[in-house]
Structure 1
């Protein structure tokens, strides 16, 4: 009985630590997903516009997804506005 209680005392902090580590990993994965989408998705839509410009297709297409990034206050918004369409 004494050995069981001693083992229980050791395993409780270990379980808490494992839970904290798993929570941190999950939180990191969610943060990575959100950040990558907020950066990669706008850049991918800008690449489509740049490819059209590279092919000398200078016609403005209102279906461009990048239009919704014009009002962003970060670097993605600056790049979108610098296309000067």
Structure 2
């Protein structure tokens, strides 16, 4: 389930309750719900921990394909080469 499906099923009170649990605004979750923002990997994990109907692969399919147990990809690249 993604945020839009949660909204369709349970309405704005469910989004408000999730926002309260996460310590963020309902407006930010609405931006995520409408596709204007993407949650960070850590935020997506927190969202799923607070609302177990949500799925990582629906919140960030670019990171979690069909396996919610996969660790998030990091965008940090390690510097190669010797020290100065």
Same fold (TM over 0.5): no
Task: Tell me which protein shows more helix as a share of its residues.
Answer: 1
TM range (shorter): under 0.3
| TM-score for the superposition, normalised by structure 2 | 0.26
| TM-score for the superposition, normalised by structure 1 | 0.26
Q: Which of structures 1 and 2 has the bigger CA Rg?
A: 1
Structure with bigger RCO (C-alpha 8 Å, 6+ apart): 2
